Every structure is written in C-alpha cells, then in structure tokens.
Amino acid sequence: MFGIGLLTATLLAAALPATAPGTLAVVCSKYCDGRDPALSPRDREGGAAVAGVRRISLHFDDSDDMGWAALGGGAPGDRVWLDRSFDAGRTWASGSRLGDTAVPPGASGWRTLMYNADDWAALGVGLLRACGQPVGSVAVTCTGWHRSTWNAYDRRTAAATTLMAHYNLGTGLFDTTGWWNSANALTALIDNIRVSGMTSYRYAIATTYDKNLSAQDGNFTNFYNDDTGWWGLAWVAAYDLTGDSRYLATARIDADRMFAYWDGVCGGGVWWNTAKSSKNAIPNSLYVELNAALHNRLPGEATYLARARAGWTWFSGVGVINGANLVNDGISMSTCANNGAAVWTYNQGVPLAALTELYRATGDGAYLTKARAMANASTTNAALNPGGILRDPGESPGGGGADGPSFKGAYVRSLGALNAVLTDHPYTAYLRNLATSAYANDRNGFDAYGLQWAGPFDKVDAARQQTALDLMNVAS
C-alpha cells in the first residue's frame, strides 16, 4: 500500500494547458499512441479518483508500456482523457488531454484509447494520469500520476526510473537539484545499473560527462572541494562500470585539485573551498576515499595511497570524531579542534567508505575495526535514529534545503560499502528496515520518495529520489 494512498486533484478547466489534442506528437514505442485497449493482454488499475458518483480510473498494459483512462457511473457527454508528463509530473503541456473523448448517448461510461507511458525514441521517462469532466461542469478531477512497471519491476528499478524522470538531456544534470547533488544522483544510478542489471539509463553517464566536462572550473572541479570530491567519486564509479579510462583520468584530476588545497594549517587537511575559509569533515573524508579508490584502480601506484593515509591520520587525529564515535561538521579554525557543529548523516557515512577503500588498499584490519566502531555508533544513536529510522538533525516535512535531502543517501551508500566487505554483514538488517519503512510510509503513486523515511511523504525532487535510490540499492 502506498504511504499516502491515491492522489486526487480537482482542477479548473481554465487552468489546463491550452494545447489542442490534435497538435500533440504521436509517441511510438512497441506500439504507437492510439491503440485499442481491447488489444491489451492484461489490465492493471494504477489509480482512481471520484467526482460525485463518477469514478475516473487509470489503467495500464504493463507488458506494452501503455495506459488508458476510463470513466464510470457517469452520463452521456462526460469527458475523459489522459495527461502525460516527462518531468516527474511538474508539467504536461505537451501531453495534455490525450485521447479526449465523451461518453456516448445511452451509456454511463467510456474509455480512451491507449497511449505510451514513455517515449523511448526520445529517451523520455513518463507518467500518466486519468482525468474526467462531468457534462456541463467546469470542474476537472484527475487521478494521481502513475506509470507502468516497464523499467520499474522492483523497488530498485522503480526508484531509478523515477530519478531518471528528473534527468535533463539538455544539461546532462538532474532538474530540481544542484551541482553536487547531481554527482550523487549519477553515482546512485551507476550503482543501480550494477546491482539491478538494468542498463536502460546507461546513456546518462556519457551524456553527463560530455555536457559538463567544461562546466564550472572544468573537469568537474569548482569553488568547493567537497563538490569536486563527489564528482571524482562519481567518475570512479563510472570507470568501474564501463572501463572507460577517460572517467578515471578525470577522477585523478579531481583528486589532484583537492590536494592543491591541502596545507599545514591545523596540522594538515584539505580546505573546504578555494577561498580557504574553513576545514570541514566532508571534503576531508571524501579526499581520503577518492585517493584510496584511485590507488586501488591504478596498479603499482603509491602517491594516492600516501595522500589517503595522510588524510586519514589527520582526520582521525584532529578531533573531528567526537567521544561518541560520531563526526561533527568540522573544526574551529581558531582552536584547530572539533567545532561541536551538527552531526549530519553524510559525515557519518563517507568515512566508512574511506576506511573500506583504505582496507582494500592495505589489508590493514585496523581500518575495518575503526569503521565498524563508527558504524555501530551511527546506526544505534537515538538522535540519528528516532524510532529506529535514520533521520538528519532538524529534519522536517518539506525541509532539508538544497543540500540536506542528499545526506542520507551518501550515508547508506557508504554503510553498504562497509557492510559488503565485512564477512558477517552486520548492517544488512538495519538497511532493510530503513528500506521497508521508506517503501511503506514515504512513497507516492509513482515510486517517488520524500525526505523522511518514517513518513509522511512530503514532496518530489531529484535529491530525495537519489537518496532513496541509494537506499534501495544497498538494501536488496
């Protein structure tokens, strides 16, 4: 059962897009738009809404990736149609009133023809909803947005497909979120290809790279060293999946750029930004992970390993890890000591992945021992896990700002990496419990996830979806 049930939207006809049905482009995939529902080998109702005594329903032929709208309990002249969106339900002007038709004389119900949910020729990831308008009324009632099970046949692939509904082919980034969040979204997508075997969205890797290689400061570097670290790790993941050496070369440029901002202030560490305003936890844990990861993919390499080891020695010694084995946000530049700032989930997670990469590089079990102690602390901390469900400090419906919605995804991805290398896989049950809660309580009708995995669902955006995809990837 969906956490928020079936969505119903009542609109004014004047607010609907003015595009006439006859001007809409016909989409052809397995079949072209306009197929008779009688030819469908199966009928699954995806959603329904009620307008007085009338029932508007959305139906899918999942095997053909098509849907149709139906209206029952109505009167002659009632109208019924489909809307189609290719941006996660934000707009539908190019897919408004598909199959618009009226209940014929002497009948109380009618249905549209079938229309494609997706436009694979144009790489369009779509949603459908059914709408109806009683004869003589200006009120329009629609179901919520839903989709077929095509490329959405389990929790992982459904979450990936919904994330790709936010992907902008023109920019090579994910709409509704930011630059570094898009690096995390691409990483989650790459991980999904690896763990699910679904390759439908592999094109996003090269598209993102080609369209953004010259963006910002070039080679996925910019003013913020943590942004550079996130992108460097995304290109390591892309290299692992594809074997394309250009991705690894870019990850090396990113690591070298971060190293340029390592100095002796406070005994070492990478500055948060190129203005050298502070030394924070996240750029430094990313620095360790990225350098260790590069060493592990470059046989005979020594420089990146030396940097990773020095980075961890500084990180573990400067005091950013507090007495509870949790990581605060950074250090005070006046005292070079723990600043006592918030304990964000991603700050607990990335060191786990960094230590895992260091263990792979060295075989030194001490790294795993420390990682396990830190993971035990963050998975059992009551403030981070109220009711047993992971939550960032101050998290509330509709909140999180531009950055916060990506935090928990980075945490569970990193915890999953540690869990995979530990022979007893001690965090499997914890991760599965989070995924079960999010799936039951924080998901809408087209497998979009909100901010709070304990519920309630709040809203749709790419950062929230990336975080949920990270969770589904590691909780299988």
Same domain, 71 and 209: no
Same domain, 53 and 170: no
- Upstream peptide bond of 134 is cis (omega within 30 degrees of 0): no
- Written as one letter, the residue type at 359 is Y
Residue 301 resides in a domain: yes
> Residue 121 pLDDT more than 70?
yes
Same domain, 62 and 200: no
> Across residues 34-58, what is the average pLDDT?
97
Same domain, 112 and 229: no
State which of 122, 143, 164 marks the end of a domain: 143
Which pLDDT score, from 0 to 100, does residue 417 have?
A: 98
| 241 CB burial (10 A radius; 0-12, 13-18, 19+) | middle
Residue 1 resides in a domain: no
If you search the block for the tokens 């209940």, which residue do you land on? 103
Residue 264 resides in a domain: yes
> Residue 18 pLDDT more than 60?
no
Longest dimension (CA), the chain: 85
Same domain, 139 and 159: no
Structure tokens, 131: 């709408």
> Residue 424 pLDDT more than 70?
yes
Residue 150 resides in a domain: no
The number of domains in the chain is: 2
Which pLDDT score, from 0 to 100, does residue 19 have?
A: 34
CATH number at residue 390: 1.50.10.20
What pTM does this model have? 0.94
State which of 143, 170, 194 marks the end of a domain: 143
> Across residues 231-249, what is the average pLDDT?
98
More confident residue, 289 or 20: 289
CATH number at residue 92: 2.60.40
Same domain, 265 and 189: yes
Which pLDDT score, from 0 to 100, does residue 266 have?
A: 98
Same domain, 42 and 180: no
Residue 310 resides in a domain: yes
Reported confidence tier of residue 7, pLDDT bands at 50, 70, 90 = very low
Same domain, 159 and 139: no
> Residue 6 pLDDT more than 60?
no
**What digits encode the pLDDT tens for the residues 135-159?**
999 999 999 999 999 999 999 999 9
Reported confidence tier of residue 12, pLDDT bands at 50, 70, 90 = very low
- Written as one letter, the residue type at 74 is G
Reported confidence tier of residue 24, pLDDT bands at 50, 70, 90 = low
Each residue of 51-72: b (16+ CB within 10 Å) or e?
A: beebbbbbbbbbebbbbbbbbb
> Residue 109 pLDDT more than 60?
yes
> Residue 3 pLDDT more than 70?
no
> Residue 434 pLDDT more than 50?
yes
Q: What are phi and psi of 110, to 5 degrees?
A: -165, 170
Residue 97 resides in a domain: yes
> Residue 28 pLDDT more than 50?
yes
Reported confidence tier of residue 476, pLDDT bands at 50, 70, 90 = confident
For 424, residues 6+ apart whose C-beta sits below 8 A from its C-beta are none
> Across residues 50-65, what is the average pLDDT?
98
Same domain, 123 and 186: no
**What digits encode the pLDDT tens for the residues 158-203?**
999 999 999 999 999 999 999 999 999 999 999 999 999 999 999 9
**What digits encode the pLDDT tens for the residues 297-332?**
999 999 999 999 999 999 999 999 999 999 999 999
> Residue 355 pLDDT more than 60?
yes
Residue 105 sits in which domain range?
Answer: 8-143
Same domain, 223 and 315: yes
Which pLDDT score, from 0 to 100, does residue 93 have?
A: 86
Same domain, 331 and 430: yes
> Across residues 262-270, what is the average pLDDT?
98
State which of 143, 167, 197 marks the end of a domain: 143
Same domain, 103 and 240: no
**Number of neighbouring beta carbons within 10 Å of residue 121:** 10
